Amino acid sequence: MSSTSKRVCVGMSGGVDSSVAAYLMKQQGFDVIGVTFRNWPQDCLSRAEDKCCGPQAVTDARMVAHKIGIPHYVADEIGAFQRDVIDYFVAEYQQGRTPNPCVICNNKIKFGSMWEKARSLGADCVATGHYARIVAGEGGRFELRRGGDPVKDQSYFLFGLTQAQLAHAYMPVGELTKEQTRAIARELGLKTHDKVESQEICFVPGQDYGRFLREGAHLPDRPGEIVTEDGKVIGEHQGIQYFTIGQREGLRLGGQKEPLYVVALDPTTDRVVAGPRASLMRDSFEVANCNWLASAPPFECMVKIRYNHRGCPAAVSLLADGNYRVTLPEPQRAITPGQAAVFYRDDLVLGGGWIVTAQQTAALRCGAPAD
């Protein structure tokens, strides 16, 4: 089927990337419809004028759509966003895990609800402004690959997409650098060309997770003890939901011989376990609820344990319970339950899963130096 016969829904967040994505799809001959999701109520604590899908973002997306000559619609996804993204976010913190809502939002909203909306508008596919690439592979399967800009690559957040989602999706800025994208927008005279890029979770302004959990999610405090690795009580806290693995600030511990960090969170006892930096090092961990886009393990690869992680070598193997063991030749710092582990071979995304445990090496327990 030629592009001229295809209608595509472009998810327009009001930013420069999705603006240029919509323009490029039109240039390729697609029948383009711009769609912006409204994801939270007007009186939500976290509403901010410049946030993705906030009031100003809707206005910006509408103006861009008018400029490039495509229709634009606003769709209400408040209920789905609350259920699939915010409720998940809150529940993970309650369980002592550190969530990654952007992965869930991509799976459920940007490539889930958006695809449903696209079909209701008679579209064959969806397009977004993600910096990643979708490539047709062998046997009718589709591959997810890193974006052309190594600094802006967003493939980490997309490991959960299904083959059906990849088959009906385009990422037209995936080959570009951020500066090239801005240059196109500037040449077109789009008001989003110099829009400041948010580095925050869209519904948590200022990255103040604690305030959002208290006031936005109305999550009550759960006071408990701060203990050392051998169980000695050294302080108190207001709730494990305010902590993450590797955190140092906020412990408010005085009189310690060396800096202490959060090395574990126990939701059953509401205890925060603190230890020295060396105790954050791990040489293996498990992942669950995996999605394999290429071949399934066992294999050797590179793994990213958080978005800003540079990646490291790993060996992945299947366990009897269906989870996977990830073994690291070089121990890594602060491997955090709740975060995504995404596996790569060169620029190909093999798949990924959710970190559920992290095992500490005996050598590092004995105080081997951390990097």
Catalytic pick from 9, 102, 202, 301? 202
Count helices and strands (H / E) in the chain: 10, 17
- The Cα 97–Cα 339 span in angstroms is 8
- The Cα 215–Cα 211 span in angstroms is 6
- The Cα 35–Cα 250 span in angstroms is 41
- The Cα 256–Cα 26 span in angstroms is 61
Q: Are 111 and 142 in contact (CB under 8 A)?
A: no
Nearest to 360 by CA among 258, 300, 273: 273
In three-state secondary structure terms, 318 is strand
Catalytic pick from 105, 125, 290, 301? 105
Q: Token digits for 352?
A: 């990924």
Q: Token digits for 40?
A: 């939270």
Sequence-distant (6+) residues with CB within 8 A of 210 are: 241, 242
Q: Which residues pair with 227 in a beta bridge?
A: 233, 273
Nearest to 59 by CA among 34, 86, 81: 34
State the DSSP code for 286.
E
Strands (E), 137-280: 142-146, 169-170, 224-228, 233-237, 261-266, 271-275
CA angle 51, 53, 56 (to 5 degrees): 65
| 202 flagged as catalytic | yes
Q: Token digits for 33?
A: 């419809």
Q: Are 124 and 8 in contact (CB under 8 A)?
A: yes
| 366 flagged as catalytic | no
> How many CA atoms lie less than 13 Å away from 76 in the CB half-sphere?
3
Q: How would DSSP label each residue in 15-36?
A: SHHHHHHHHHHHHTT-EEEEEE
Q: Which residues are catalytic?
A: 105, 202
